[in-house]
């Protein structure tokens, strides 16, 4: 058991927030409250990023996910005026069972991997240094050199998704 430090307290609190509100998001009946729970989860994750000395990731997490994407979610939910979900009868038993099985398998895999992972040694970390927070230009340089291919493929993926969404919505109107 590591000594109780300020960092550990913040870590515990942020992780608890993230996990508890992720759970709340799933079990919540009102869609608007689900979205809000997810916002709190993102805040928890962003605090964890700050603990890892990555404030850039933390700010992006809030700005992009909480600030843009979830506001869009909220907009759509309010536009369609989605009310509370009613407990509908189980009309897709196969999917439900399959989903449960896949979730259990994934959970087991993650738990097993976590338990078997080597415990990092105590003391200051050694090894190659990843770009530190003040080196946002370094991060950009890495993205456009070593990881250029992955970066471009990702942007292509986003473009495909945008074009696909346009196509789907157009087809419906015609």
Partner 1 sequence: MSPALATALEGAAKIAFVWGVVLGAVLPNLIWVERRMAGLIQDRPGPNRVGPFGLLQAIADILKMFMKEDVVPMYADRLLHTIAPLILLVPAMTTFAVIPFGSSIHLFGRDIPLVIADVNIGILYVFALTSIGIYGLVLAGWASNNKFALMGGLRSSAQVISYELAMGIAAISVLLAAGSLRLTKVVEYQASGTFLGFLPLWNCFPQALGCMIFVVSAFAETNRLPFDLPEAEAELVAGYHTEYSAFRFGMFFMAEYLNLIAASAMMATLYFGGWSLPGLHPTGILGGVISIAVFAAKTGFFIFLFVWVRWTLPRFRFDQLMNLGWKVFLPLSLLNLIVTGALVLWGVV
**Contact positions vs partner 1 (CB under 8 A):** 32-33, 36, 39, 55-56, 58-60, 62-63, 66-68, 71-72, 74-75, 78-79, 133-134, 136-137
Nearer to partner 1, 102 or 138 (CB): 138
Smallest distance from the beta carbon of 85 to partner 1, in angstroms? 16
The residue among 14 and 39 lying less far from partner 1, judged by its C-beta, is: 39
- Rounded CA-CA distance 33/5 in Å is 33
The residue among 53 and 101 lying less far from partner 1, judged by its C-beta, is 53
> Contact, 35 vs 80, CB < 8 A?
no
**In whole angstroms, what is the distance from residue 152 CA to residue 149 CA?**
5
What is the total residue count of the chain? 174
Instruction: Provide the sign of the torsion angle of the four alpha carbons 110, 113, 116, 122, taken in this order.
Output: negative
In the complex, least distance from residue 81 CB atom to partner 1, rounded to whole angstroms? 8
Distance CA 11, CA 105 (A): 27
Q: In the bound complex, what is the minimum distance in angstroms from residue 84's beta carbon to partner 1?
A: 11
- Smallest gap from Cβ 137 to partner 1, in A, equals 7
């Amino acid at each position: 058991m590591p000594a109780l430090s300020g960092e550990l307290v913040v870590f515990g609190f942020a992780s608890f927030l993230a996990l508890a509100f992720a759970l709340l998001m799933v079990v919540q009946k009102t869609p608007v409250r689900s979205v809000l729970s997810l916002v709190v989860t993102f805040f928890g994750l962003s605090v964890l990023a700050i603990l890892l000395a990555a404030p850039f990731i933390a700010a992006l997490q809030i700005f992009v996910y909480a600030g843009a994407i979830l506001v869009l979610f909220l907009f759509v939910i309010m536009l369609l005026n989605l009310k509370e979900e009613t407990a509908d009868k189980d009309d897709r038993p196969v999917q439900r069972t399959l989903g449960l099985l896949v979730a259990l398998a994934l959970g087991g895999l993650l738990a097993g991997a976590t338990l078997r992972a080597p415990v990092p040694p105590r003391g200051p970390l050694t090894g190659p240094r990843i770009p530190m927070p003040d080196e946002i230009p370094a991060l950009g340089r890495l993205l456009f050199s070593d990881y250029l291919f992955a970066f471009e493929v990702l942007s292509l993926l986003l473009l495909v998704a945008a074009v696909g969404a346009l196509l789907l919505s157009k087809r419906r109107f015609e």
